[in-house]
């Protein structure tokens, strides 16, 4: 299983809800976590590995605290966004080699199911709030480069084309 890279059209798909909390969903979550840790990410969404369902994994602190506290999030819905915004330098495993500041709500309230099908409500702030928004965007086929200024996106597109010509990704 491999992380799909921009401009793979599958990254633009709308993902469907997870209906069964079965061994397949469990295996998928486990694999997503393995890939996320192996690639040094803090979040990964199932559509990024070509599996268009509403399943994401997060662990926003493991790189700094050096231990793992993974969260598996199924069918998430953000039902409250703070008016207060924050700009964070974002990166994405599907867009290697590019970072850009993205403006998002600094606080959110989100509901989801965990891997056991248990319903949860969480208030998230800081990097975790940003990650929730970034990963849930993936479920709706939105990449963070779709949320940056026209000018920055043009710079990205130019760099990307150059790299493709040079034989890279
Ligand atoms: Zn991403």
Instruction: Give the DSSP letter string of 122-156.
Output: EEEEHHHHHHHHHHHHHHTT--GGGGS-HHHHHHH
Q: Please say if the pLDDT value at position 169 is more than 70.
A: no
Model pLDDT, residue 1: 84
| pLDDT tens per residue, range 133-149 | 999 999 999 999 999 99
pLDDT band, residue 30 (cuts 50/70/90): very high
Distance 16 CA to ligand 1 centre (A): 18
pTM: 0.94
| pLDDT tens per residue, range 42-59 | 999 999 999 999 999 999
Distance 143 CA to ligand 1 centre (A): 6
| pLDDT tens per residue, range 52-83 | 999 999 999 888 888 899 999 999 999 999 99
Of all residues in the chain, what percent carry a pLDDT higher than 90? 82
- b/e code 141-158 from CB counts within 10 Å (16+ = b): bbbbbebbeeeeeeebee
Model pLDDT, residue 38: 96
Q: Please say if the pLDDT value at position 167 is more than 80.
A: no
Distance 92 CA to ligand 1 centre (A): 4
| Residues acting as catalytic residues | 135
Q: Please say if the pLDDT value at position 168 is more than 60.
A: no
Distance 74 CA to ligand 1 centre (A): 16
Ramachandran region of residue 125, left (φ > 0), alpha (ψ -120 to 50) or beta? beta
Model pLDDT, residue 25: 96
Mean pLDDT of the chain: 94
Distance 98 CA to ligand 1 centre (A): 11
């Amino acid at each position: 299983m491999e992380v799909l890279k921009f401009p793979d059209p599958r990254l633009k798909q709308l993902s469907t809800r997870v209906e069964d909390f079965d061994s397949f969903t469990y295996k998928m979550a486990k694999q997503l976590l393995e890939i996320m840790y192996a690639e040094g990410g803090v979040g990964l969404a199932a559509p990024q590995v070509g599996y268009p369902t509403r399943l994401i994994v997060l662990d926003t602190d493991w790189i700094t605290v050096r231990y793992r506290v993974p969260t598996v999030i199924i069918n998430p819905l953000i039902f409250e966004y703070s008016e207060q915004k924050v700009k964070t330098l974002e990166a994405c495993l599907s867009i290697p080699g590019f970072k850009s500041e993205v403006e998002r709500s600094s606080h959110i309230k989100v509901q989801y199911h965990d891997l056991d099908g248990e319903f949860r409500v969480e208030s998230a702030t800081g990097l975790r709030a940003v990650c929730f928004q970034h990963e849930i965007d993936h479920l709706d086929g939105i990449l963070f480069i779709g949320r940056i200024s026209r000018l920055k996106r043009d710079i990205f597109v130019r760099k990307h084309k150059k790299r493709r010509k040079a034989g890279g990704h």
